[in-house]
Amino acid sequence: MILELNNISKKYKNKFALSPVDLVINEGECIVLCGGNGAGKSTMIKILTGIEKSTTGKVTFHSKRKKSFAYMPDSMNFPPEFTPIEILQYYGKFLDVKKEKINQVLEDVGLWDKRNQRVGGFSKGMSQRLNLAQCLLADTDIYILDEPTNGLDPYWVIQFKQVIQQLKEQGKTIIVSSHIMRDAIEIADQVLILFNGKVKSFGTLDQIYEEHACESLEEVFLSIHKKEQAAG
């Protein structure tokens, strides 16, 4: 066990954005949080990262490292006048990262050739890759990524999945939120399905398919949606 959620919830005024959740995440797994807009994915991510405080419950990291996790938000507003190398050097000072690691991360996200260009002229996809780069700088046990494939073209979606696989091979734990179901199918060890702030399923794809008597995640989501509508 590397991360534990005990009775975590988030309530705004009189409505739960996230109903109480108990969850155990094991070391070396990739967990994908799936659900549409308003499902509760970002709320859970914000609680895990400490951006927001939960209404109830407790999050416990069991990492022995000084930095428990690295975080890739769904978007980052980097200073437009700075270059990728300057931005990563800035983050690197706080993380005590060597120059070689910064250079390698820029290579990994395909920005080495753009390292001296100002990010104000970057496309959405390039900015997202720089966002991934700042997350990968940290040597930690857990990587938390919120909608990481947003804005990436098909080639870099494939490359992103290879990065995830490399992290898994290093024994890292990865938590990814995504509304793109094929992401879950291709990278997840376990999938957590959220709907209207409630956890509807958690387990391997085979376990989820068996639980809902479905053969695909698309069918599972449709089944959950129909049941929720019928329940009013």
Q: How far apart are CA 217 and CA 185, in angstroms?
A: 8
What is the H or E stretch that residue 21 is in?
A: strand 15-25
Residue in the block written with tokens 């098909």: 154
Reply yes or no on whether the pLDDT at 20 is more than 80. Answer: yes
Reply yes or no on whether the pLDDT at 231 is more than 70. Answer: yes
Delineate the domains of the chain, giving CATH numbers in brackets.
3-68+142-231 (3.40.50.300), 77-139 (no CATH)
Reply yes or no on whether the pLDDT at 232 is more than 70. Answer: no
How high is the pLDDT of residue 124? Answer: 95
Q: How far apart are CA 68 and CA 84, in angstroms?
A: 25
How high is the pLDDT of residue 181? Answer: 80
Contacts of 106 (CB under 8 A, 6+ apart): 84, 85, 88, 112, 115, 133
What is the H or E stretch that residue 4 is in?
A: strand 3-12
Q: In the numeric block, which tokens belong to residue 104?
A: 């390698």
Strand arrangement, sheet containing 3-12: 15-25, 3-12, 56-61
pLDDT confidence of 67, banded at 50, 70, 90?
Answer: confident
Question: Mind listing the pLDDT tens digit for each residue in 138-187?
Answer: 989 999 999 999 999 999 999 999 999 999 999 999 999 988 887 778 89
Strand partners, 21: 8
What percent of the chain has a predicted confidence (pLDDT) above 90?
A: 84
- Between 124-136 and 154-169, two packed helices, what is the crossing angle to 10 degrees? 10
